């Protein structure tokens, strides 16, 4: 082993090479050396000389400059120069009293966004030097706060390899990490050596001042080193068989991620690195939580078999330095391990993929979906009720970065990924989308009205269901990716948020804002008491109906459902009517409550703005004993009881 010191990012040869002696510079599995005089900003790397015997899992290459697996910053030089780690002092930043917010999940509304795509479009109004950066995001904090967002979930911001996609396109999404500690340099407007680290922390501090938490989408399941033909940046050149799950022949890699390799997350050395990485982002970078990409990979042992009690998963949730941190699992992987509702641990929230699929099927008009839709509205007790957990365990969403945007979900029947350069083979084939009659954009006003109505339906279902809601960047203003459901390589207007949509779809933006305003004023009993999902449902007194009171139709051919729900402290009742049928349906209404009380029409997704959603104070009374819900629409009536 050698420690290599460099003077410049573009240097291909070190200014100084310090040989390491295992008798003096190695303890157990860890190499270490003290070099007097080094300070923040120093460029460095390692060289590991050893046998190259892939059949034995050994891939040493003495010609490679290797990144420090624990390096806090990464320097990117010219094409011919290797990446280099940068010495950093993580405690030198002035946080001015800032700390993670620890907002309860019951108050949380997540907004998934891409740091670059959020402000890169020329219409963002962000200065060109800061567009697409951490600093650019700071400029849009007033927008997020006004909308009602309480947490941003940032797509990967670990330093990643932006190359290597088919056709030489950029790896825009960033699920290709080369470091688990360093913020992505290309997202910073500051390009001095430690500038990205400080600019990221400036962003976190500014978001916290606005009451908005920062959740990172983290990738601890694979690295950018890829398969057996991939590049060597760090891990495979240091201890290939420890960092990765190897195939039986040891020359290739187990691939449970679809990316060529799989991190050996339950190996003691790798477990320690993952924990140290998480601690670094919480302690030194003040992030509030993590969403774990393909989290089920973390539940596999060295043979790839699922483990009943995976050490790394239990380490994460029981680590005292991570106490109070939000941890969210994407509870599946690319090799078929699906653990929604059965992910190990007592404090993990889960992306509820069944919420996404069942809501899509119901609103599309598929058969046999009514009972599943009812469960999704109530926090999915059929999935989570056995765990006696809080309703917010379920992270509810109908669109995320992976798949159609909400606009495209109602505009396309099939994916259109030709521009990705893979002959439209990439991306999911089954999207449960419905184009409402025409594939892609249309000038037909009837189809446009139907699409707008369906979008309001999806948003109402997501934001009014029990659970933690998550919105995809731009869905509140109908951002489109032109039917591309896998825009991982599209660093262009396909992926960027066009802020002109704020003007074009101001009515939808208002609809979302008012829904989020309601969530922020929910019955205070939920906020002040620890309710399990089962206890909450018992005390809410849910009454199910069909078009006739107390006669729900759970049959395969049913496309409608209604429910009356009383708030926990009896302050108001809501009567919800969901009609996914292609004809209008008239629903009988229950009594509103005590004498003189009336139902008020709060939401009707079939109506144009501003009647699609009204403030309770200005909502019109419903005087009839029945209410007709238009085709493919939802209506919500409210009665304030005190």
Say which of 213, 217, 293, 491 is annotated catalytic.
293
CA distance 322 to 315: 10
Residue ending a domain, among 30, 56, 86, is 86
Report pLDDT for 640: 86
* Residue 359 located in a structural domain: no
437: exposed, middle or buried (Cβ count in 10 Å: 0-12, 13-18, 19+): exposed
**Span 341-366, average pLDDT:** 96
Bridge partners of 47, per DSSP, are 2
CA distance 105 to 461: 18
Residue 189 structure tokens = 């407007």
323: exposed, middle or buried (Cβ count in 10 Å: 0-12, 13-18, 19+): exposed
pLDDT band at residue 579, thresholds of 50, 70 and 90?
Answer: very high
Report pLDDT for 211: 98
Q: Indicate the length of the chain as a whole number.
A: 642
* Residue 122 located in a structural domain: no
- CA 299 from chain centre, in angstroms, equals 20
Query: Global pTM?
Result: 0.97
* Residue 46 φ then ψ, to 5°: -130, 155
* Residue 319 located in a structural domain: no
**Span 98-110, average pLDDT:** 94
Range of the domain at 570: 526-640
pLDDT surpasses 90 at 594: no
CB–CB of 430/481 below 8 Å? Answer: no
Reduced to 3 states (helix: H, G, I; strand: E, B; else coil), residue 166 is helix
Percentage of the chain modeled with pLDDT above 90 = 90
| Kind plus residue range of the DSSP H or E element containing 503 | helix 501-504
* Residue 459 located in a structural domain: no
pLDDT surpasses 60 at 523: no
* Residue 486 located in a structural domain: no
Nearest to 469 by CA among 532, 398, 414: 398
Say which of 161, 225, 330, 358 is annotated catalytic.
330
* Residue 179 located in a structural domain: no
* Residue 562 located in a structural domain: yes
Alpha helices by DSSP H, listed for 5-53, are 22-25
The CATH number covering residue 23 comes to 2.60.40.10
Q: CA separation (Å) from 485 to 16, 334, 336, 437?
A: 48, 17, 20, 19
pLDDT band at residue 569, thresholds of 50, 70 and 90?
Answer: confident
pLDDT surpasses 90 at 593: no
pLDDT tens per residue across span 37-80: 999 999 999 999 999 999 999 999 999 999 999 999 999 999 89
CB–CB of 47/62 below 8 Å? Answer: yes
Percentage of the chain modeled with pLDDT above 70 = 98
Nearest to 483 by CA among 439, 437, 521: 439
Q: Which residues contact 591 (CB under 8 A, 6 or more apart)?
A: none
Is residue 556 part of the annotated active site? The answer reads no
Q: CA separation (Å) from 79 to 76, 153, 167?
A: 9, 32, 18
pLDDT band at residue 209, thresholds of 50, 70 and 90?
Answer: very high
Reduced to 3 states (helix: H, G, I; strand: E, B; else coil), residue 213 is strand
Alpha helices by DSSP H, listed for 42-191, are 115-119, 134-138, 141-147
- Share the mean pLDDT of the chain: 95
**Span 183-212, average pLDDT:** 98
Report pLDDT for 567: 82
Number of structural domains the chain divides into: 2
Q: For 123-127, 496-500, 503-507, 572-576, which range has the lowest pLDDT when averaged over its residues?
A: 572-576
pLDDT surpasses 70 at 136: yes
Is residue 293 part of the annotated active site? The answer reads yes
Bridge partners of 327, per DSSP, are 290
The CATH number covering residue 540 comes to 2.60.40.1180
CA distance 359 to 365: 10
DSSP state of 69: T
Residue ending a domain, among 86, 112, 132, is 86
């Amino acid at each position: 082993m050698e420690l290599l010191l460099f003077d410049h990012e573009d240097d291909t040869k070190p200014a100084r090479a310090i040989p390491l002696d295992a008798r003096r510079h190695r303890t157990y599995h860890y190499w270490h050396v003290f070099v007097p005089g080094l300070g923040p900003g120093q460029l460095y790397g390692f060289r590991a000389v050893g046998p190259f015997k892939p059949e034995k899992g050994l891939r040493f290459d003495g010609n490679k400059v290797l990144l420090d697996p624990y390096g806090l910053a990464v320097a990117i030089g010219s094409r011919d120069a290797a990446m280099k780690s940068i010495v950093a002092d993580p405690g030198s930043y002035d946080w001015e009293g800032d700390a993670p917010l620890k907002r309860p999940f019951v108050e949380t509304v997540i907004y998934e966004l891409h740091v670059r795509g959020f402000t890169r479009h020329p219409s963002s109004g962000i200065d060109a030097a800061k567009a697409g950066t951490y600093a650019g995001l700071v400029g849009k904090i007033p927008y997020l706060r006004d909308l009602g967002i309480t947490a941003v979930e940032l797509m990967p911001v670990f330093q990643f390899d932006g190359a290597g996609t088919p056709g030489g396109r950029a790896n825009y999404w960033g699920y290709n990490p080369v470091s688990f500690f360093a913020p992505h340099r290309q997202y910073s407007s500051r390009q001095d050596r430690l500038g990205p680290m400080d600019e990221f922390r400036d962003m976190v501090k500014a978001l916290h001042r606005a009451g908005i938490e920062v959740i990172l989408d983290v990738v601890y399941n694979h690295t950018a080193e890829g398969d057996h033909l991939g590049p060597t940046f760090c891990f495979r050149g240091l201890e290939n068989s420890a960092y990765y799950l190897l195939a039986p022949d040891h020359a290739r890699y187990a691939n449970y991620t679809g990316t060529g390799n799989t991190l050996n997350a339950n190996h003691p050395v790798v477990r320690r690195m993952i924990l140290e990485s998480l601690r670094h982002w919480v302690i030194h970078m003040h992030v509030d939580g993590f969403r774990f990409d393909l989290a089920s990979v973390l539940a596999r042992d060295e043979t790839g078999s699922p483990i009943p009690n995976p050490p790394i998963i239990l380490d994460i949730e029981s680590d005292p330095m991570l106490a109070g941190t939000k941890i969210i699992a994407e509870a599946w992987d690319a090799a078929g391990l699906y653990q929604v509702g059965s992910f190990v641990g007592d404090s993990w929230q889960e992306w509820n993929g069944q919420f996404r699929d069942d809501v899509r099927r119901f609103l599309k008009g598929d058969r046999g979906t009514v009972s599943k839709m009812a469960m999704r509205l109530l926090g999915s007790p059929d999935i989570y009720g056995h765990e006696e957990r809080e309703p917010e365990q379920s992270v509810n969403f109908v669109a995320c970065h992976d798949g159609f945007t909400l606009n495209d979900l109602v505009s396309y029947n099939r994916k259109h990924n030709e521009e990705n350069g893979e002959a439209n083979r990439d991306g999911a084939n089954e999207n449960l989308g419905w184009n409402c009659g025409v594939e892609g954009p249309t000038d037909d006003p009837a189809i446009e009205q139907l699409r707008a109505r369906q979008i309001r339906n999806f948003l109402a279902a997501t934001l009014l269901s029990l659970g933690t809601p998550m919105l995809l960047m731009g869905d509140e203003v109908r951002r489109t990716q032109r039917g591309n459901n896998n825009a991982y390589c599209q660093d262009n207007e396909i992926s960027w948020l066009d802020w002109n949509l704020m003007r074009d779809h101001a009515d939808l933006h208002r609809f979302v804002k008012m829904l989020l305003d309601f969530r922020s004023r929910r019955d205070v009993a939920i906020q002040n008491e620890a309710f399990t999902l089962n206890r909450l449902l018992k005390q809410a007194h849910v009454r199910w109906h069909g078009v006739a009171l107390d006669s729900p139709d759970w049959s395969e051919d049913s496309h409608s459902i209604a429910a009356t729900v009383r708030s926990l402290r009896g302050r108001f009742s809501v009567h919800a009517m969901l009609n996914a049928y292609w004809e209008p349906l008239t629903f009988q209404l229950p009594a509103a409550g005590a004498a003189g009380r009336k139902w008020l029409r709060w939401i009707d997704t079939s109506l144009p703005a501003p009647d699609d959603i009204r403030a309770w104070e200005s909502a019109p009374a419903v005087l009839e004993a029945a209410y007709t819900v238009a085709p493919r629409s939802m209506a919500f009536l409210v009665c304030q009881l005190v």
